[in-house]
Structure 1
Amino acid sequence: MEEFIKSFLWIVLELTLLFVGISFIISLLQGYIPYEKIEKKLSESNKVVASIIAILFAFITPFCSCSTIPVVVNMLKNKIPFSIVMVFLFASPVLDPTILTIMGVVMGWKVTIIYTLITTVFSIVIGFTLDRLGFQKYVKNVIMTGFDSEKKKFNVSHAINETWSLMKSVYPYLIIGAAIGAVIHGLVPTEFIAKWFGHDAWWLIPIAALIGIPLYIRLSSMIPISQILILKGMALGPVMAMMISSAGASLPEIILLKSIFRKQLIIAFIGSVLTMSTISGFVFYII
């Protein structure tokens, strides 16, 4: 029990300092982000340039998979090309700047850079592929209110409020992840994880990708869990596959997507996330 408490408090302290500091800085910087100009640029640029802008837009808007949906609806309403909207949909929940920074500190910058490159490339490829296959016809005519893309005033008070709001929505998942990580660290024998999950069995990767979606473990929760699993001897491939699938396609997000997508596109969305997470797992497996 003492080992669990020590491990839990250390993980919580480390993640709290990183989370609060980085979130505050990003909230300050968001006062400079011209959201309306970005959307206009997305609709006017050629698809290659627009896809890069969509990735950057996904990076500077630290939304979880569920809160991405209103932004997607707003983009569709503003006639932004379907392929670009899909690029944003796949990239936004997996390219959170706060979580990527924490990932770099906790799991190493090499892993974080590879993760960022893989998810970026797959988001673009999947977005263009779904467009090429004609999945745009499976988008429902839905108008959602409540999303405000207007530029917020740049000030410290607003940044504090934004940080507090983000803390309320995301921080509980960091605590849950820290608790699970502490349990794994203190109670699960290293030999058990190394024996069953530490070897180079390729079939562990697709299984981990499948497990990730119904678990609804957010990326913020998966980082402390992944750190402990890797320290315990679990192979990096399955860990990254589970991390990407859990962040990219949560059950609540899929339920929300049913309000704007028909089932054919939802199935394609889930299949695309599984493909992205599985292939990404194999890339880390090879590396």
Structure 2
Amino acid sequence: MQAFTPLTPVNRKKGIEPRTAIKLAAGLILWFAIYWQLVPFSQLVTYDLLGIARGTHLGDAVEFFIYDTPKVLMLLMLVVFGVGIIRSFFSPERTRKMLAGRNEAIGNVMAAVLGIVTPFCTCSAVPLFMGFVTAGVPLGVTFSFLIAAPMVNEIAVVLLYGLLGWKIAAIYMGTGLAIAIVSGWIIGRLGMERYIEDWVTQSQQGSMKGMPMHSMSWEGRVQYALDAVRDIVKKVWLYIVLGIAVGAGIHGYVPEGFMASIMGKEAWWSVPAAVVMGIPMYSNAAGIIPVVQALLGKGAALGTVLAFMMAVIALSLPEAVILRRVLKLPLILTFFGVVGGGILMVGFLFNMLI
């Protein structure tokens, strides 16, 4: 995901214009007014307009789809706008300066936290890795950032909170950060810098510099956030709809006993199986969370579902292909092994505790 730095006259104004402030306030009021009517709207469309009988598999699936699709998209737009304001303070150059020269343990923590709020994802791995390495950021710190950026992001946290409650959102965020911090620290201790492709270490970082975002006015930051909403929603809406469609099918048609038998606590092999199944898949957090919601609703164990979700987001094959451009195979395999081990531990732990 690229950073948005609109070079328009709006960036030179000192504050937010009254007209813009009024539009934002009106938009927020309208957002809440629509959001609180989604349940009756989904029931009206499903049972009254479409004439589907209540209590049927089809009715449950259609109501789930009609309710969750606008809900997830609305949550996505709201959180991307809010975090877009935060992101307007962080350019790649500023992020690298914050991480370079730090004590490595502190750097791992800072890198994982920055991974949540900065505008980077798997598709940004190549230029970011180049920038981090040439700026002198330790390898383990770099991996803490690259693990946290796709796996623990604001979209996933907010959607989990909206769909499943604050406890599961907090569990996801806490365990994801722990995996990013510990995995980065372990990789840093292994001394695998020799497995970075030579052309990366020889590259110059000048091409990563851009407009100093700290000089943006508030009017410019609002425009930056609105641009982020348009760009991100355009890129992920199809994944979201497909994910909700899969979740609706599971919600309406998959028997609870079947799902509990293959992803329940009693099946000891369910956690490693979930991780293995998640790796070939490609989705972002917004697309996989509706599936997670449906799996949990059908009796799947929380630890198993969390392991599946984290594997899909953080250990996808497309990510490995991108990283192969900058990392040699031994380091990629180490990365997958360390992160996969952390995900397995999370799955088993929460299946035992919850």
Question: Normalising TM by the smaller chain, what interval?
Answer: over 0.9
Output the aligned Cα RMSD. Answer: 2.0
Structure 2 counterpart of 1:85, one-letter code:
T
Q: Residues 170 and 69 from structure 1, CA distance in 2 versus in 1: closer, same or farther, beyond 3 angstroms? A: farther
Does 2:308 match 1:242? yes
In structure 1, the partner of 2:350 is: 284
2:156 matched residue in structure 1: 99
Q: Deviations over 1:198-238 (max 9, x none)?
A: 34222100110111111123222221101111111111111
TM-score of the aligned structures, taking structure 2 as reference length: 0.76
In 2, Cα distance between the equivalents of 1:241 and 1:28? 31
CA distance in 2, matches of 1:35, 1:240: 30
Deviation at 1:33, TM superposition (A): 2.9
Q: Look up the SS of the partner of 1:155 in the other structure.
A: helix
Give the CA deviation at 1:150. 4.2
Q: Which residue does 1:84 correspond to in 2?
A: 141
For residue 99 of structure 2, the aligned residue among 32, 36, 42 is: 42
Distance 1:255 1:59, change over 3 A: same
Alignment counterpart, residue 178 of structure 1, candidates 244, 259, 264 = 244
Alignment partner for residue 22 of structure 1, among 57, 79, 97?
A: 79
Aligned to 2:188: 131
Shift, 1:187, TM fit: 2.1
AA paired with 2:230?
W
Q: Which residue of the partner structure matches residue 226 of structure 1?
A: 292
Cα distance in 1 between the residues matched to 2:212 and 2:66: 38
**Residue 95 of structure 2 aligns to which amino acid in structure 1?**
I
What are the Cα deviations for residues 236-273 of structure 1, in whole angstroms up to 9, with x where unaligned? 11101111111112111100111100110011111122
Change (3 A) 1:161 1:50: same
The structure 2 residue matched to 1:271, chosen from 331, 334, 337, is 337
Shift in CA distance, 33/9, structure 1 to aligned 2, threshold 3 Å: same
Worse-matched range after superposition: 88-97 or 213-222: 213-222
| Closer, same or farther: CA 286–199 of 1 in aligned 2, 3 Å | closer
Q: Using a 3 Å threshold, how does the CA distance of structure 1 residues 37 and 197 change in structure 2: closer, same or farther?
A: closer
1:77-127 CA-partner distances (Å, limit 9, x unpaired): 222111111111111111111221111221221122122222212212211
Where does structure 1 lack aligned partners over 5 or more consecutive residues?
none
What secondary structure does 1:234 align onto? coil
Q: CA deviation at 1:147?
A: 4.9
Larger Rg: 2
| Structure 2 residue runs without a partner (length 5+) | 1-57
Name the residue aligned to 2:227: 161
**Aligned match for 1:212, one of 266, 275, 278:** 278
Q: Identity percentage over the alignment?
A: 29
The change in CA–CA distance for 1:269 and 1:149 in structure 2 (over 3 A counts) is farther
> 1:56 maps to which residue?
113
Is the 8 Å Cα contact of residues 79 and 155 (structure 2) preserved in structure 1?
yes
Give me the whole-angstrom Cα distance separating, in 2, the residues matched to 1:147 and 1:285: 43
Alpha-carbon distance change, 41 to 28 in structure 1, aligned in 2, over 3 angstroms: closer
CA distance in 2: counterparts of 1:255 and 1:35, whole angstroms: 22
The 2-side partners of 1:30 and 1:89 are apart by 17
How big is the shift at 1:182? 0.7
Aligned residues of 1:62 and 1:96 also touching (Cα < 8 A): no
